[in-house]
């Protein structure tokens, strides 16, 4: 027997819907990765305390319990998988994989048993059904009755709204009320959001783009409270999938994006992303509503009682510590027109910014879109429909969905193409891709091997603009010096405004020695020569020609590392 066992198309139930994924057993741990969300369950082998094999609606399933009280259930196994898994568990986990049948009598009376995070309803010691108490949103009591309401899942075609349990009265000599005892057991593990005690900290009047408005954010240990003039939202940290910190194209603002599953709701509208917008110049002094000993014990150095800095840094630092997730930031990508780490484009007739990340793309902000590389089937560079000065970037997912980011300036083509090529994404031109043609295609394109003028022009223009992105002409010696000195001026003069930076820079430039200025003059002259050379090459390669060019076509295979690596 090998050191690992792997299974595809294994399902995990989530509030009434089935999410498929891959499950791997190794000597060190058990890892399950959802294909839909990319979320990873990592169960150390040392914590595994119980394993049960049972027949379920999707074939056979495994129920795993850990010493810390967590329960995991995975379905979709075949009957023939039992022997392999049982032997692997005995050899590596020292745990017996026991078989247990579910009760199918259909009786509606039995015994309610509370075991960790589960409420099990049993008949004759066989389980009829189990309720994950974390899915309970509300618990109400009445005379001899307890009503449970559940969190809803938009992906589920049929949802269970509530369940009522009749609890017979206990003997007269017992002082405890059995109804209240039942409700107390439910509430001890239920995901019922209640604001008990004071908030850890409060951020006042933050600008929120999605949902739109100004909101106060109250940070509690288990959830955040989004309080606005019209709507209130309580968001458990368990629903937070990812955190993003993205610089705006103007370099003066920052986006902080919180990805949610399930989303927050406002009427019929679902918000899968919470997007906050900050000014880089806005500062904050923050004091947590806890003692220094409590802060150190709970957050282990990630936070301190008194903190100060930029507002976006304070919010992201607090959220990272409480949610316990890494913050995703842009990688090494830089656009051609402004050296920004994003590209201006449109999606569904709304203008926004597309950020190429190390493991995916994210578009902000209306509507927000996050696409992981592992769920992308192919990408396509298409001609703009209204003008030759722009192009469209199309992304198709393995589920068959298509996202079109349009009106991208053609100067960005080279940078974006190099990025997706480096990430080994499958690139195609719809209708011309060689890999889509059959070997017996009698109507193949006779111009396949001709020189691609469109590609050459695009590369030439992009190289020219990558040299001088802010302008279409080379910078002066003063501007070259200013760009290299701007950060130093800001660090030496905290709180200085943009107009004051220009004034201060002018004074410093006058005081620079003759030799230093001559050095910057040489750099400016060299930049001018490079610019003239690039423009000459551009014109020699057909720059400005209105003749339509053949579409560029290429194919790359998308290969990535281990599927079990966490996003």
* Neighbouring C-beta atoms of residue 353, cutoff 10 Å: 20
DSSP letters spanning 543-562: TT--S--PPP--------S-
Kindly report the pTM of this predicted structure.
0.53
pLDDT for 195 equals 52
Query: For 137-190, how does the pLDDT look when each residue is reduced to its tens digit (9 = 90+)?
Result: 778 888 888 988 887 776 777 878 889 999 988 765 466 788 888 888 888 877
Write the secondary structure of 481-508 as one string of H (helix), E (strand) and C (coil). HHHHHHHHHHHHCCCCCHHHHHHHHHHH
Q: Please state at what angle helix 477-492 crosses helix 514-540, rounded to 10 degrees.
A: 120
**Is domain 111-188 given the CATH code 3.90.1200.10 in the classification?**
no
pLDDT for 465 equals 45
The phi, psi pair for 465, rounded to 5°, reads -75, -25
Given a cut of 70, the residues of the chain with pLDDT beneath it are 1, 154, 171-175, 191-197, 267, 384-387, 429-473, 538, 541-567
- Burial status of residue 499 (CB atoms within 10 A of its CB: 0-12, 13-18, 19 or more): exposed
- Interatomic CA distance for residues 354 and 407, integer angstroms: 12
Domain ranges of the chain: 4-99, 111-188, 201-328, 343-423
CATH topology of domain 343-423: PH-domain like (2.30.29)
**CB contact at 8 A, 104 and 158:** no
DSSP letters spanning 45-113: GGGEEEEEEEEETTEEEEEEEETTS-EEEEEEE-TTHHHHHHHHHHHHT---EEE-PPP-S--S--EEE
Same fold, 201-328 and 343-423: yes
Which CATH architecture is the domain 4-99 placed in?
Roll (2.30)
- Interatomic CA distance for residues 210 and 192, integer angstroms: 24
- Burial status of residue 394 (CB atoms within 10 A of its CB: 0-12, 13-18, 19 or more): middle
- Interatomic CA distance for residues 191 and 109, integer angstroms: 26
- Interatomic CA distance for residues 116 and 158, integer angstroms: 27
Query: For 300-341, how does the pLDDT look when each residue is reduced to its tens digit (9 = 90+)?
Result: 888 999 999 999 999 999 999 998 889 999 988 988 877 789
- Interatomic CA distance for residues 399 and 425, integer angstroms: 16
- Interatomic CA distance for residues 21 and 9, integer angstroms: 6
CATH of 201-328, one of 3.40.640.10, 2.30.29.150, 3.40.50.720, 1.10.3720.10: 2.30.29.150
pLDDT for 528 equals 83
pLDDT for 500 equals 79
Segments of 414-552 assigned E as strands: 427-428
The phi, psi pair for 457, rounded to 5°, reads -65, -45
């Amino acid at each position: 027997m090998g050191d690992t066992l792997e299974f595809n198309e294994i399902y995990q139930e989530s509030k009434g819907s089935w999410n498929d994924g891959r499950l791997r057993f190794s000597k060190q741990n058990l890892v399950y990765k959802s294909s839909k969300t990319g979320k990873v369950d990592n169960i150390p082998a040392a914590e595994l305390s119980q394993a049960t094999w049972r027949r379920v609606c999707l074939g056979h399933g495994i129920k795993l319990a850990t010493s810390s009280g967590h329960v995991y259930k995975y379905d979709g196994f075949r009957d023939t998988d039992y022997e392999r898994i049982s032997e692997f568990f005995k050899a590596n986990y020292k745990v017996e994989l026991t078989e247990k049948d579910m009760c199918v009598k259909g009786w509606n009376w039995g015994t309610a048993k509370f075991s960790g995070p589960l409420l099990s309803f049993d008949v004759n010691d066989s389980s009829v059904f189990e309720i994950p108490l974390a899915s309970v949103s509300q618990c109400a009591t009445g005379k001899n009755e307890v009503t449970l309401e559940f969190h809803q899942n938009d992906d589920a075609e049929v949802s269970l709204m509530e369940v009522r349990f009749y609890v017979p009265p206990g003997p007269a000599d017992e002082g405890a009320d059995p109804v209240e005892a039942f409700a107390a057991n439910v509430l001890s593990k239920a995901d019922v959001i209640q604001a008990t005690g004071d908030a850890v900290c409060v951020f006042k009047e933050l600008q929120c783009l999605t949902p739109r408005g100004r909101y106060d954010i109250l940070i509690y240990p288990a959830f955040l409270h989004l309080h606005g003039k019209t709507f209130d939202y309580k968001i458990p940290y368990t629903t937070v999938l990812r955190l993003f910190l993205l610089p705006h194209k103007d370099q003066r603002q920052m986006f902080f994006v919180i990805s949610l599953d399930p989303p927050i709701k406002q009427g019929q509208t679902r918000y899968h992303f919470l997007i906050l917008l900050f000014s880089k110049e806005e500062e904050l002094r923050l004091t947590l509503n806890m003692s220094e000993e409590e802060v150190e014990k709970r957050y282990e150095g990630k936070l301190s009682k008194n903190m100060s800095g930029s507002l976006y840094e304070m919010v992201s630092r607090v959220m990272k510590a409480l949610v316990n997730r890494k913050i995703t930031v842009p990688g090494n990508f830089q656009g051609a027109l402004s050296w920004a780490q994003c590209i201006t484009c449109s999606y569904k007739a709304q203008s926004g910014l597309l950020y190429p990340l190390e493991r995916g793309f994210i578009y902000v902000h209306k509507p927000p879109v996050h696409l992981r590389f592992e769920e992308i089937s192919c990408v396509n560079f298409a001609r703009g429909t209204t003008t030759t000065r722009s192009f469209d970037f199309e992304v198709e997912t393995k589920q068959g969905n298509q996202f079109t980011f349009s009106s991208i300036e053609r100067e960005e083509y080279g940078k974006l193409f190099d990025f997706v090529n480096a990430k080994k994404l499958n690139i195609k031109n719809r209708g011309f891709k060689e890999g889509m043609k059959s070997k017996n295609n009698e109507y193949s394109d006779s111009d396949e091997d001709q020189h691609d003028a469109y590609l050459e022009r695009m590369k030439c223009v992009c190289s020219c603009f990558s040299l001088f992105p802010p302008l279409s002409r080379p910078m002066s010696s003063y501007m070259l010096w200013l760009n290299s000195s701007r950060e130093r001026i800001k660090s030496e003069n905290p709180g200085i405004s943009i107009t004051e930076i220009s004034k201060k820079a002018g004074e410093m430039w006058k005081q620079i020695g003759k030799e230093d200025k001559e050095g910057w003059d040489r750099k400016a002259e060299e930049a001018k020569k490079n610019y003239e050379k690039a423009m000459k090459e551009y014109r020699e390669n057909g720059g400005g020609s209105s003749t339509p060019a053949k579409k560029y076509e290429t194919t790359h295979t998308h290969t990535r590392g281990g599927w079990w690596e966490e996003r």
